[in-house]
Chain A
Amino acid sequence: ETGVTQTPRHLVMGMTNKKSLKCEQHLGHNAMYWYKQSAKKPLELMFVYNFKEQTENNSVPSRFSPECPNSSHLFLHLHTLQPEDSALYLCASSQDYPAPPEQYFGPGTRLTVT
């Protein structure tokens, strides 16, 4: 595998389910990110981890819980989500944080909450 991988690519879950999104980067980067992408809106930064430590949490509801066991892996644990949480969830990595700014993205997980 090369670059940034994400699984699953598609996820449909009920409001009472618990699921997890997984991201792995094969670039040797030190920083990893979770973004939410909704149609016609800018990317919303959710969390940033740098050297496994959370450095940013942009007022994300507690029903989203990140986990970063090492610099290569990032998880987003989901529970009791709302329909408005349906979106494309993108994982990204960069060499360091906050600079350099160039980020490398995975293909995303398309999440639908029913």
Chain B
Amino acid sequence: TQLLEQSPQFLSIQEGENLTVYCNSSSVFSSLQWYRQEPGEGPVLLVTVVTGGEVKKLKRLTFQFGDARKDSSLHITAAQPGDTGLYLCAGDFMDSNYQLIWGAGTKLIIKP
């Protein structure tokens, strides 16, 4: 059974600071996605990574896929209050019939 572990579970920092959150698995992903969920809303897709070592940037957000495709990180530079939310990673694995497996999320609060 594939499991995705996200860390930390909770992070509260001041506006302007940098942060990194992580998503790890013992299995190799076919692809991995990051979503952000704001209170009272559903998750919104931020990015999909597919290739080992891949780096994608979305404004102040940098997503990295591990070389072995077992882990990923999300780095936020100069965090803003608008970055507050629950960050979820989800991956599909070849031996899970490509069904998405979800992490429990990192709850991020950016204080003004």
Residue pair B45, A107 in contact (C-beta under 8 Å): no
Q: How large is the interface on A (under 10, 10 to 19, 20 to 34, 35 or more residues)?
A: 20 to 34
Residue pair B100, A45 in contact (C-beta under 8 Å): yes
Main secondary structure of the interface of A (DSSP, over half): loop
Residue pair B88, A104 in contact (C-beta under 8 Å): no
**How far is A105 from B36 in the complex, measured between Cα atoms in Å?**
11
Q: How large is the interface on B (under 10, 10 to 19, 20 to 34, 35 or more residues)?
A: 20 to 34
B92 to nearest A CB, angstroms?
5
A81 CB within 8 Å of chain B: no
Contacts of A40 in B (CB 8 A): 9, 104-105
**How far is A99 from B96 in the complex, measured between Cα atoms in Å?**
12
Residue pair B44, A101 in contact (C-beta under 8 Å): no
Residue pair B99, A98 in contact (C-beta under 8 Å): yes
Residue pair B98, A107 in contact (C-beta under 8 Å): no
Selected contact of A101 from candidates B4, B9, B43, B98, CB within 8 Å: B98
Residue-by-residue, is B46-67 near A (CB-CB < 8 Å gives 1, otherwise 0)? Answer: 0010000000000000000000
Residue-by-residue, is B24-48 near A (CB-CB < 8 Å gives 1, otherwise 0)? Answer: 0000001101000000111111001
Contacts across chains A and B counted by CB atoms under 8 Å: 52
Residue pair A98, B98 in contact (C-beta under 8 Å): yes
- Known contacts being A98-B97, A98-B98, is A103 close to B103, with CB within 8 Å? no
Selected contact of B48 from candidates A4, A42, A101, CB within 8 Å: A101
Contacts of B41 in A (CB 8 A): 107-108
- A contact residues vs B (CB 8 Å cutoff): 4, 40-43, 45, 56, 90-92, 98-99, 101-108
- B contact residues vs A (CB 8 Å cutoff): 4, 9, 30-31, 33, 40-45, 48, 88, 90, 92, 97-105
Q: 10 closest pairs, A vs B, by CB?
A: A105-B42, A98-B98, A42-B102, A43-B102, A101-B92, A42-B104, A105-B43, A107-B41, A107-B42, A90-B42
